[in-house]
Amino acid sequence: MSSRGWCTSFAILLILGSKSLAALSFDFTYIDDANGTFATRGWLDPDSLFQQNIRAAAELWGAQFDSDETIVIDIDPMSFAARAGGTNTLGRFLYQNAAGKDVWEFGPLTRILTGDNPGEDFFGFDILLGFEAEFVEDYYWFDPQPELRSASVPSDKGDFVSVVLHEMGHGFGMTGYRDYDTGEISGDTATQFDDLSYYGGDGNPFDSNGDPNPLFFGGNLAASLYGSDLPLTHKPSDDFLFSQNFYHLSACNAASADSLEGTLMNGCVLPDGERLYITPFDMAVYADMGYPLAELPGDYNDSGTVDTADYVVWRKYDGSQVGYDTWRAHFGATADNGSGAHGNAAVPEPINLSQIILAAAAVFTRRRRCTWAVQNS
């Protein structure tokens, strides 16, 4: 957040007595099927953990962007028959690229930049999330305090907030038009993500042996942060990660780690019993597509570092859970590295606003069990 942005927020807070810092907001519509799949589970109730978990994930996304717009999200039980999924509408034509493809802007981004999304006018949403209810019930865990994200995730379940975060990531702009069989963009239309990704090797989707060539995301900001263009997931058709092709970070090559396996938008795994977080590598991808990022989320006093002084500002002027979560997630980050501490630093808990309690968060360990392959698109 810029100095100007903070002062503006401050002024509005004083006038309205609001308890929220400026952030992207969301308008949710739950669309049930004819069987009442959501209704019979109580998931049309705004107080249900299903909806609470979705809202908490959305608020974490909202804090990442420098915008006061409202993103329109539809959520249904039928659009993604396989477990969970997220997509979007396209907002506006941007340009024709060297390959002759019409490159379109993601609708959520068009809304953030212009206040409107023509794709939403037509289809009714900026982002569409779909959840297969039975799978969600059987394999995911609803966080009872999704805004805290501190309860232990059962070792045999996936964290639903993490799932929603991931699918919303697809909704904001990790989708496109590559054909699963050929790896090519078959029609005339491409997304910004398509336009910024390319094949290594001989430049074709498959090499002369018929094996998949590596796929990369070539955005400048992401490459600058990572040190080179970011490997994306591109697996052969007989690989269990085949369905993750093109629109996920990491090559997911067990024999050759690329350090993107732990990103939110990784195509490798949602580890049971653990949480995923929005990482700087994830956000750099969205920045490359034109999303205006909050300069340093959680740096409420614009000091260039997210530290206890920001907690004091949050306590005095904000007090919201999402404001706290954002601060905590980036605790220790600086304007130079932009990355947060994610649970390995001693940070104050908001248990009692009149006290600052130091608590060591759980160590972030990694295990690899179930995979995105069977859980999302």
Our CB check for Zn ion shows the closer of 243 and 305 to be 243
Give the phi and the psi of residue 130 in degrees, each rounded to 5: -125, 140
Can you tell me the distance from the alpha carbon of 87 to that of 90, in angstroms, rounded to the nearest whole number? 10
Our CB check for Zn ion shows the closer of 141 and 372 to be 372
As measured in angstroms, the least distance from the Cβ of 308 to Zn ion is 36
Read out DSSP for 134-181? HHHHHHEE--SSTTT--SPPPTTSEEHHHHHHHHHHHHHH----B-TT
What is the Cα 126 distance to its own chain's centre? 15
Our CB check for Zn ion shows the closer of 300 and 372 to be 372
Say if CB 39 and CB 302 are below 8 A apart.
no
As measured in angstroms, the least distance from the Cβ of 266 to Zn ion is 8
Binding to Zn ion, residues 64-123 (CB under 5 A): none
Residues binding Zn ion: number (CB under 5 A)? 1
Backbone conformation region of residue 131, classed left if phi is above 0, alpha if psi is from -120 to 50, else beta:
beta
CA angle 259, 262, 267 (to 5 degrees): 95
Does the footprint of Zn ion cover residue 162 (CB under 5 A)?
no
Binding to Zn ion, residues 348-377 (CB under 5 A): 376
As measured in angstroms, the least distance from the Cβ of 243 to Zn ion is 9
As measured in angstroms, the least distance from the Cβ of 285 to Zn ion is 13
Our CB check for Zn ion shows the closer of 233 and 326 to be 233
As measured in angstroms, the least distance from the Cβ of 173 to Zn ion is 12
As measured in angstroms, the least distance from the Cβ of 58 to Zn ion is 17
Beta bridge mates, 348? 358
Nearest residue to Zn ion, using CB? 376
Our CB check for Zn ion shows the closer of 320 and 376 to be 376
- Output the CA torsion sign for 83, 166, 370, 363: negative
Our CB check for Zn ion shows the closer of 103 and 270 to be 270
Name the site residues for Zn ion (rule: CB under 5 A).
Answer: 376
